[in-house]
Every structure is written in structure tokens, then in C-alpha cells.
Structure 1
Amino acid sequence: MSTEAHEESDQKVIVEALSKGPSLQNCNPSSRKLCEADFVLGVPLELSWEMVEEMTFGFRTRIILGDDKSEYLAYEGLLPVYGYQVMVKRYSTSDSSRSWSKDVLEAEKKATLSMHHKNILSLAGYYQSENTTILVFPSTKRGSLDTNLYGSRGKHLKLTFQDKLKIAIEIARGLRYMHEESPQGPVVHGQLLISNIFLRRDLRPLISGFGRATWLHLKQLTKPINNQKCSLRDYLDLESIALVKSDILSYGVLLLRLFCKTSVPQDDKTLLDWARPLLMKRAFHELLDEDWEDVDMHEMFRVMCTAFQCTMPCPDLRPCMSMEKFFVKCNHHLPSISDNIFHEREEEAEIDRYMLAAVRLATQAQSVGNGVHVTAKP
């Protein structure tokens, strides 16, 4: 039998096993009850190596990732508690990276226990030894965003403009929760890349990859708010503000990769050097794929204005996520930016001017149709 035939036979066995679920007959009853209780409570399960091998069928369920520089290997599997479909990340650790992999695990566990949001991917289980760290997450069906955009082995999912707009809005909601609504204080992701965004079957994006996340501490206010505007500096020190703004920059880059043509530069700095001059000239048609048929030019202007603002070289001029949600929100009402409690005074005039310009340009674009280079100035 040829190698290809062997691989095809193995794949059929794995698919059949995935559909039936792993055997639980060898599980200790008391241990299983404890695992089930933790699973229901959302507490990551501590797994044995035997359980990891069983759920991945001896690591034969490899998933091909879109990012060749990924720090881990990914596998499909079944969690031996309910036969729950999962994605398994396997990190191989050396002497130099052992401390780092331990930090990754602790950060992922903390993220799962401290944040609960529909756009955040929670850790389901883990295993750690001197040589290997295993992280287990609920299966997201469609895989990572970069795989869907650029494909693996030449295959990719065709996302419409409205699909991408929905994904962008929901990522913004998740990031806003992390920065401004997390119960244990602001959380900075630190590595917001398209390879760390996973899509469910319904295209709901889930933010993952909290291995480099930072939990910030809010300063105690020296004066009452009394419904007055507050600056980030009233809550965070300068170093913490810089970390928050770095996440905003990453979100802007993510928007460019999500909406621009697939042939954009892979290096982030090169991408910004290429895209920002075109954004400033309002030459949006040069950024987009030619085969988009459902582009709403009004929403496209809003998205590109958001990307431009998020990628400002000066961090102080980048908006906060409570504003960002409104920048890309799919409606025709521009809410008052002054409603934002984390509003920076120096941003207000720039953002108001930019948003008014976006509306004016969008109105012109609606009248002339798609693919027109509009050069009107605010």
C-alpha cells in the first residue's frame, strides 16, 4: 500500500473516532467527576500525557496553520470528558524557553479565570512537563483568521465585505472589554495578530494567544469624577498607557490585513509604510481587492479612517477602544465622542475633524460608485 493510501486510511480512522468520541472506560470515576465539575465551572482541566495522546489520536490530527512562524503545532482532538471537540496547541520547550512556556501557561490560565466575553477564547485544559507545554481550547471550526484570509495549501475562505465588517466590530468589542471592562482591571493583549484570531462556524471571532498579556493596575483617583471627562492619565501611568496604545496600533494593522488586498506586505512596518500614504490620499481603491461586489463605500471609508487613526505614529493620537467600537459600528449614526470616559483631550479635535471628513467623503463616494479615487479635503 502506498504512503498516500496509508495516510488516507489513517485519516478515515481519525474522522470516525472524532465523530464517536474517545473512550472513557479507563478513567477513574472520582477523577472524572472532578474534571466534569471543573469543566462546567470553566476552570481549565489539568490533563495527563495519556489523555493528551488519546484526544489527539497520537498527534495524528495536525492542523496546517497559515502562519509558518507559529510558536506551536496545532492539532484537532476530543476532550475526554464529554467528547468535546478541541484544538490542541503543542509547544516544545528547550532550556532557554522553559521559563517562557511556563509564563505562557500561567497567562492563559489567568485570562480564562479573569475574563468572560463572547469574543475571547478560553483555555479548556493543559498539560506541562519539562519538555512540553500543551494548551487545549474549544474547537472554533473555521480555524484562524489568517488561514481564512490567506489560506493553507492555496485554499482560503471567501469572506464578503459584510463578513469582514462583522468580524472587525466583534474584535473591537472584545478588545474594549479587555481594556475597559475586565473585572480585574485593564488587560493588554500584547500580540493582537490575525493568527491569534479564531473564527467560529458563524464567523464570530475569538481573541486568543494571551501568553504575552499584561494585567494593568488602575491608579486611585485623587479627585471625584462628577461626570467630567477623564484622561487615561487619571487611571494609568505612562508606561501602562503606552501598552494600551500598542494594542490599538495592532488593531489598526489587523484592520488593514482584514480589508486590504491579500498581496499586501507581510511585514507590519512595510505594510504601514505602504498603506498610510494611500490612506492620507483617500486612495482606498488601491488598497482593496478588485473582486469585491458588496462593498458599502460609506462603511469602507469609516473602516479606513479607523485604521488610519489607530496606526498614528504618535500613540497619544490613537483612539481608545470605547471610541473604536463606534468608528466601525455598522449604522449611520455618529455618537458623541464626548460620551467616552477614557477620552483624551488632545484627541478630540483631531478625531472630530477626521470623522466629519469621512462622512463628507463617503457621501461623495456614494454618488459616484465604487472604485473612484476621491481627493476631497476636510
Structure 2
Amino acid sequence: MAVINRIAGFADDMTAWRRHLHTHPELGLECHETAAFVVERLREFGITQIETGIATSGVVAVIEGRGEGPTIGLRADMDALPINEATGLDYASAVPGRMHACGHDGHTTMLLGAARYLAETRNFAGRVALIFQPAEEGPGGGRVMVEEGIMERYGISEVYALHTMPGAAEGSFETCPGPMMAAVDSFDIDITGQGGHGAMPHETRDPVVAAVGMVQAIQTIVSRNHYALNELVVSVTQIHTGSAENIIPETAYINGTIRTFDPEVQDMVHRRLAEIVAGQAASYGVEAKLHIEVGYPATVNHPDQTAFAAETAREVATGGTVVDDRRKEMGAEDFSYMLAARPGAYLFIGQGEAAGLHHPKFDFNDAVAPVGASFFARLVERAQPAA
């Protein structure tokens, strides 16, 4: 089989839902209008057990199956990104500075499509918990929902999620057991020196030179402090300082990101950053303060659930391919918190040729939504067959 016939039958409705969501993007934890739209659709489907306000604007809804059984969790993220949209579409973002550039409008739509089908058929045992999550792009709505007890409150035994993937064949799937996406931390360094005239540097303690020295030294963490065959990225992404060509500034600012899979490697990077900042500050006679923000942990799929999800994907894939041993990548995902709390799997679904994620011209491919909805629906039916 491929796309479930009933889901294919309301594909136009799914397109309308998705484009409405695309026009009205919201950021972070404040996805209230999106949540209200989701709840309205769920009630239209006849779903009555709905909890709102989790992690500020998250939603969990439960569909009861036929007879006793476990509860399987299906998650979709709802938030957008602070990007000015450049698609020129007639359903483009109506909110300047915000757009759905990562496909979360499509993720929400795929889960709504599965919800409609599952609520109509209820051809499964136990229950389905539909998890509509805010703030995947930050500050981590998945963590907040787990901390607020959704896994225990709804008795969720396994949890699954999909993410669109531009560049992969439309309707294909990719996943892997074990680590799939990296842990992400960020660091900030505030440097304070003594400013002065650019023609008299001997009367200053130059934070610009200190910042350059720190950045160069930070590059040696990967090249000289780390075993080359273990995955690690340390990238300096911002340097801000100065205001004119003849003024040595008082301060400088450095910012960057750390991507790891191994906690020991993560600890090593934190230690070396502290040593480098302190040592470079002393050598240049400036003061420097390092702050490390520990972010999302690595996204680690559970082997049994990943194999099962890949088998299910082969039933519905329209792109003809299901890759179950894809290479892990250095991106990050806060579904990691849910996978740390319960067994489950995270999969990519092919978008076809399109602008990349987080690009101002990205747009979710509506043809993929029935495939993703069918995956979620068949996952439930296969995992928890009705008596």
C-alpha cells in the first residue's frame, strides 16, 4: 500500500490547513493562535479529551481505540522562525519577520491528518496521544512538556516524530538507530579592555586583538584537543566590537556553537574554552567572562522502535526509498528530550527539490502531507492492532 485512501481523500483539506498555518506563524512558546486552530480541528474530528496550555501553548489530545492497550505518542512541532519570508506566495506569512521556514506548519498538518483518520476509524487498541509542541526552535518546548509530566500523565509508552527534508525524494523516509542528531550548546565571551585613540595603542588594552587571539585558539579545540574520528563542531559565529577606524574600543563580544554526541567530548570542550579564555585574557591584559549555555541533548533513536518505524515507512513511502541507516548529522532537535523519556524514533520525510530549511524561500511540499499522515496512522495500527 502507499497513502491511505481515506487520507488521500481529504488531501485538499490538509493543504488548506497547512497554508492557513503558514500565513499565521508564531514563535517560541507563544503559539496560541496555532494551538487554537489545532484544537478547533480536533473537535471537528470528534476528539474530546484535549488538554491545552502545556508548555504555555502546547496541546495534547487523546484518541481512544478499541479495547485495552498501551498509549503511543505522536509529536508535531508548531513554531516558526524569526525570518522575513521571500517566497512571494499568495499564502506567505502575514507577519513581518516571521515565517514557517522549517516545515513545522507541515508537521502540524500531517499529525492533524492522522488524527482525523484515527478518530474516524479507531482501528487500534489502547490510545493515541497527539502531542502538538511549541518552541522547538527555542527555548525547548519538548523539554518543558516532558518536565510538565505529559509522559506520565497520559501513560505514553513510545513516542515518534517526523521532520521534512528538502533535497530527498518526495515521499521517501530516512532514519537510523542510535544517535541521529547532535547535542547543541552555545557560548558567549564578553571581553573588557581599555579603549583609546587608534594612533596610541600603547595607552590601551586592546579587546580586538584579544578577541582575535581567542578565536584562533578556539579553533585548536577540534584540531588539537580532540580525536579526529569522533564527531565535533565548534564554530565561532559572531564577533562584535568597535565603532570607528580611529578608536580602539573598550569591549568585544564573541559568540559560537558547540555540537557533540559524546558527553565526555562535550565536557572537554567546556573545559578547554574556559582555559583558552582565561589564558588569552591574561596574555592580552584584558578581562573576559565566558558563559556556556547547555542546550538540547543528542537525539538518540531506540533501535527496536527505529526498525519498526522503518518497516511502517516502507508501507507508505511514495518516493520508493526508505533509508534506515542514514548518517547522523550535527543539527539539533528538542525531540531528544522525549526520546530520553520514552523509547521511540525520529524520521525525516523527503520533501523533493526545494529551498533548504531555515531559508527565506522555503515552503513545505503539500504533496508530502498525506504520506506523513499515513505513516503516523499505520504506525498506530501496526503497533497496537485492534483485537
Interval containing the TM-score (normalised by the shorter chain): under 0.3
Is the strand fraction higher in 1 or 2?
A: 2
- TM-score, with normalisation over the residues of structure 2? 0.24
Higher helix content, 1 or 2: 1
Relative CO higher for 1 or 2, CA cutoff 8 Å, sep ≥ 6? 2
TM-score, normalised relative to structure 1: 0.24
